[in-house]
Amino acid sequence: MTNFTYSAAALDRLKANDSDVFKALMQEEVRQSEGIELIPSENYCFPEVYALLGSVFNNKYSEGYPGRRYYGGQENTDIIENLARDRAKSLFRAEYANVQPLGGSAMNQAIYFGLLQPGDTILAMDLSHGGHLTHGAPVSHMSKVFNFVRYKSEVPTGNIDLAKVRALALEHKPKMIICGFSSYPRELDYAGFKKIADEVGALTFADVSHIGGLIAGGALANPMDFGFDVMSTTTHKSLRGPRGGMILAKKQYGQALDKSVFPGLQGGPHMHQVAAVATTLKLAAEEPFKKYARDVIANAKTLAQTLLQQGAELVTGGTDNHMMVVNTINSFNINGTVAEHVLDAAGITLNKQMVPDDPNPPLKPSGIRLGTPAATARGMGENEMKLLGNIMVRALRSHEDTVALEKLRDETRAICSRFPVPGVSNDGKSHSSAAA
């Protein structure tokens, strides 16, 4: 059998022909193995995904859709794209799926342009309260094309007051209402949002990029079950697939959305990514993934509890999903940027984060955001969450003590060494270690 994939032979060539990139690849594998990844939007993909991303599907141009492409030679790409679309529809109980968006931002742009007109009003969650840049943050191009109005969560509970959302909807008459977030640790009331949207004649759009895997695994509610018109998810976060985006919708929007993705916004789809999405969706429908989704949330609750017990202040006081936001200024008297660096030194990777109505700027915000999808993919459980939570708090308290941070890094490494990264061997070498 021929094998042009991410193989030892291909890596041997890389090592011989570009030692600089090869070295960075090896270092990155070590970094991902030795430290703990708590950025809630990151994950370790299924090992099968590496095989497809490094496969000959990378070579193929497939503009168009299965059965109506602009290039020949599509007998295998049609198979994988049909599989991916059918699996997506079945897993998320949707009538329509498009698996071509190259990423999460592209998928959301395709939805706006496919279903709305420039200048239309969209009601979405405020950025500092957890919304995403693509939901109309002033720095995004989308905010120049559409008129975004923002709803907020209540401080400090984090609840979304639907009476206030309704009042905004009645005042601004949005054409679309978005339920979705990149930094909000609670479940949203999809039925409540849908009722408001119906009252004002708005489309309902759920961007479940962060929690797509948890919905697929049955651990969180699925907006499509509440009659939402359209839903988007990235495929590389809790879903454990390749980097990419996916759109699900009611059938009646299918034609407009297909046209909006291609030729409206994109050219050729990345068929190696589409193939990897197909396999990801098969794996995400199986029993072990359901357990994984439940474990991600159980781990997040344990980690949140550990941090609370040690005196940390969490935005909304806890979590219902995979992530949490810690107000590091109130808890440890350091901003999120300092906290991010301190924890990096202790072998813990997470990101600085704004808190609701943050008085501080985005590059020096008041908090950090962390989550459990990647740690859970390594097989870590509640015991490890308690250990890691304790290391975090000790590191943040001794943030000026480099010797203490070095010791804490050793503790993190010791925990991580017991939980190999899927697809990467425990010695920090790799599925590519044959060439290292």
Ligand X SMILES: Cc1ncc(COP(=O)(O)O)c(C=O)c1O
Which residues contact ligand X (rule: CB under 6 A)?
Answer: 41, 103-105, 108, 132, 134, 180-182, 207, 209-210, 234
Q: CB 407 → ligand X: shortest distance, Å?
A: 33
Task: Taking the CA atoms of 232, 234, 239 and 242 in sequence, report the sign of the dihedral they define.
Answer: positive
Which residue of the set 234, 319, 337, 349 is catalytic?
Answer: 234
Active site residue 234: yes
Q: CB 354 → ligand X: shortest distance, Å?
A: 14
Which residue of the set 85, 186, 194, 237 is catalytic?
Answer: 237
Active site residue 352: no
Backbone dihedral region for residue 196 (phi beyond 0: left; psi -120 to 50: alpha; all else: beta): alpha
Dist. CA 421–CA 413, nearest whole Å: 13
Q: Which is nearer to ligand X, 39 or 345 (CB)?
A: 39
Active site residue 190: no
Report the length, in residues, of the chain: 436
- Give the nearest residue (CB) to ligand X: 104
Active site residue 44: no
Active site residue 402: no
Q: Which is nearer to ligand X, 188 or 408 (CB)?
A: 188
Active site residue 235: no
Q: CB 302 → ligand X: shortest distance, Å?
A: 23
Amino acid at 304: A
Dist. CA 258–CA 126, nearest whole Å: 28
Q: Which is nearer to ligand X, 26 or 300 (CB)?
A: 300
Q: Which is nearer to ligand X, 181 or 292 (CB)?
A: 181
Which residue of the set 12, 34, 63, 411 is catalytic?
Answer: 63
Q: Which is nearer to ligand X, 89 or 135 (CB)?
A: 135
**Catalytic positions:** 61, 63, 207, 234, 237, 243
